[in-house]
Amino acid sequence: MTIAFDDAVAEALVAAADGASRDLRAQAIANRVRVETVATDFRGGYATLFTAGSTVRSEDTQKLAGVLADLGDAVGQARREADQERRRQRAVREWTAREAERDRRRASGDPFAASSAFVDGLVDVRPDHTAVRPTPLSANFSPRARVRSGAAGSGGTSAADPDALRVFAGASRAADLSTAQHLIQVKNAWSRFRSTCAWTPVEGSTVVGGFDALLAENAAEASWLEGIATAFERAGGGSLPDLALDAVAVTSSSPELARLLRPGLTPAEVAEAYAQLPQTDAYVRSLPLAAQYLFANLDGVPAAKRDIASRAVLAAAVEEPERVYQLMGFGEQRGLSDFTEQVRGLQEAVRKADVRARYLPGGPTMQKAQLVGFGEHDGALVAAVSLGDLDTAANVTVNVPGMSSDVAGMGGRVVAAEGLLRRAHETDSDQTYAVVSWVGYHAPVPGTVGLPDRSESGAAELASFLDGIHDSRTGGPPDRVTVAAHSYGSTTAVQGLELTRHRVDSFVSYGSVGFPYGTEVEDINASAVYATQAQADQLATVGQRLGILTRADPRLFDGVQVFSSEAGPETESVTGHDMWHDPESDDVGYLSKKSRSLQEIAEIVAKGKVGS
């Protein structure tokens, strides 16, 4: 009897559940610290509602963390039981075959054969025929609703610092957006487990829906606090009657918009929820800034609509940096000047991308630039810029940068993306192209490039972005999708491609600091995997050595197709580690116009293979 149990899927669920559990415990601790900060200047009946709700939030978060940890343990036990039953069944089959052979000897009429069969039967004990009964799984959780009105019954007043409330709301939202990626991983892993591990019965499971509901409660709390902050600002500070605060709406959005903006939706769920809203540019422009911020960063929404929302938030960040700084959850940190500098750098990069897009080959369908997201991840500003129409391009490439990358340096990456797009179009002009410069994770600095934390965190963000490209396109997914990744970005990308639902056609690693040990090419959700490293690129080698305990040169992994970055016909050798250098420079980067590697990567993008 075949055991319907996929060990790799079970291991992925254990990893997802354990990762979410750890994140929730950390977030619960961080939230308690934030609550104590806000409580200093929050007084009256509404302060009591806030602290009571915060207690419920903390207790529910810790409870969910425990349920997920228990789920991971239970799935691990299920895997051991499945393995035990497989071994038992194998032992029974092998004994049955031996017993059949002994029966043949017993019936042969040869007394010596019959005697040997008798002796063999004495020592070859029949295995246990009792099947292992799998332990049913049960993982149940439901968050409690939090009370956010009714303080007026006391007839009292409340006072608060609006800025403190906004800082809290922004930080809470940022934390939940990070936790939401863990929810997405749990959702996907649980769905795969249910479909491939049916041998283990499930008696009850509300944990995924409960996780979703907890983040929805947190989101409603953030909106509620922003509403209270606005009420105090409009009143000019001081205190307000609780009766007036009871009139503050928890959310001014429609149920359909509220559904879309809930943290933790998979890209497919986002696409489904977005389909229930007006599909017009005017609708996106009419949204409040906080809603536009969330909307801009939804993988699964069409790129053209994300572009509208992202540009609106970017414009607000330039005009009112402190307001957007708080909205994104940076208010607890000291770095407004750096935030402002990065925002201005991104704004200039987007402006130049718009200009460059006008001169792209391929006609109007390719001659556009899109800002596909602008937000925060792991304490860093993140964004993605597409050259070419991401909603319609037949051929899509996502380029992932490495160490020290940030949105302020987006301009150079967009130029590199343009060079790749032009070379791919020269290779096959019958396709339409989009090349995305994805700066969607907090890249490490040189001192931390040896650690795996940033790649593990960024991997989920990249996986969500890639799946969103497929799920957002109502006219059908691209014909070809390539992920190209430089330096530490390749470490992030290989882990991200182990989490995606949709398969990409090619994954290209260039100047990599290493793939994680234990990586199997078949586990990378790509039809083909390529790698190159220039002889002159010593920094990639250093990066591999810094991560010696966790990763190795991708060219050493079975199944990876290696190509050259050295000089070839009409091309030059890459002279170092950089992604790109200006054509006037004597240095040559991996995506520089005259490099051998650009030619090879363009061939992979356009044709799915190296060389002609």
Q: What is the pLDDT of residues 404-420, one digit of tens each?
A: 999 999 999 999 999 99
Domain spanning 284-607: which superfamily? Alpha/Beta hydrolase fold, catalytic domain (3.40.50.1820)
* 252 pLDDT higher than 70: no
Q: What does the pLDDT read at residue 446?
A: 87
Q: What does the pLDDT read at residue 242?
A: 86
Structure tokens at 106: 């017993």
**Residue carrying structure tokens 């591990």:** 197
pTM for this predicted structure: 0.91
At 156, the pLDDT band (50, 70, 90 cuts) reads confident
Q: What does the pLDDT read at residue 148?
A: 84
Q: How far is residue 141's CA from residue 49's CA, in Å, rounded to a whole number? A: 23
- DSSP 8-state code for residue 522: G
Q: What does the pLDDT read at residue 253?
A: 63
The answer to whether the beta carbons of residues 434 and 386 sit under 8 Å apart is yes
Structure tokens at 456: 């593990």
| Domain map (residue ranges) of the chain | 1-133+159-263, 284-607
Q: What does the pLDDT read at residue 488?
A: 96
CA distances from 120 to 89, 92, 378 (A): 21, 16, 65
